[in-house]
Amino acid sequence: MDARNGHVSRYSKGMIVIHWVTAVLIVAAWFTAEGGRHVVANPPLLHFSLGLAVLALTVPRLILRVVGQTPPPPDERRAWMALAAKIGHAVLYAFLIGLPLSGWYAASRLGVPVSFFGISLPTIAAPVQGAPGMIADIHENAGTVILYLAGLHALIAGWHHIVLRDGTLRRMSPL
């Protein structure tokens, strides 16, 4: 608790654990990704599982976000900064939901069986012959865009912490 205003000064333990596990999963999903024909011949099952784990964690994360307490912006005088952070985080959340769903869709269109660490999942689109379509293309690009966004997000967090000295990293620190 922050004695100043009765608000919490950090994210909850659950939010912090999910944040860092998700960051590791995204990087691992990126490294295990494959594109094109190779996916049909030899489906990257680990890529699917890691990516679906992101989705599986984002659902409880959003629930925790809504029901729990979130630390208020570090500097209430800078309303524009709080708004920018809100928009930036909303964009990241949109990727955390949209990316795994579009991947699942792409795999379904390619006719590739999807499983989550050995558990078979249903397809969410009918398989097609040939190219899997626009959503699959979007998935392939968005999979890399999220890494850039996360990098920018990390740089901004570092800037807050080191230049503005507002203790931002402490809000998400597991220690």
CB of 3 to ligand HEM, least distance (A): 19
**Is the Cβ of residue 7 or residue 89 nearer to ligand HEM in the bound state?**
89
CB of 161 to ligand HEM, least distance (A): 7
> Per residue in 126-161, is it b (16+ CB within 10 Å) or e — as a string?
eeeeeebeebbebbbebbeebeeebeebeeeeeebb
CB of 22 to ligand HEM, least distance (A): 6
CB of 65 to ligand HEM, least distance (A): 5
The alpha helices in 32-133, defined as continuous H runs, are 37-41, 45-67, 79-110
**Rg of the Cα atoms in the chain:** 19
| Span of 1-9, 122-130, 142-150 interacting with ligand HEM by CB under 6 A | 142-150
Q: In sequence order, what are the beta bridge partners of 67?
A: none
Tally the residues of the chain: 175
φ and ψ at 68, to 5 degrees? -90, 180
18 is a site residue for ligand HEM (CB under 6 A):
no
- Total residues binding ligand HEM (CB under 6 A): 48
Query: Which stretch of DSSP H or E encloses residue 116?
Result: strand 114-116
CB of 92 to ligand HEM, least distance (A): 4
Give residue 17's identity as a one-letter amino acid code: V
- Structure tokens, 105: 């869709």
Site for ligand HEM in 60-99 (CB under 6 A): 65, 70-71, 85, 89, 92-93, 96, 99
Q: Given the rule CB under 6 A, which residues bind ligand HEM?
A: 19, 22-23, 26, 29-30, 33-36, 39, 47-48, 51-52, 54, 65, 70-71, 85, 89, 92-93, 96, 99-100, 103-104, 106-107, 110, 114, 132, 136, 139-140, 143-144, 146, 150, 153-154, 157-158, 168-169, 171-172
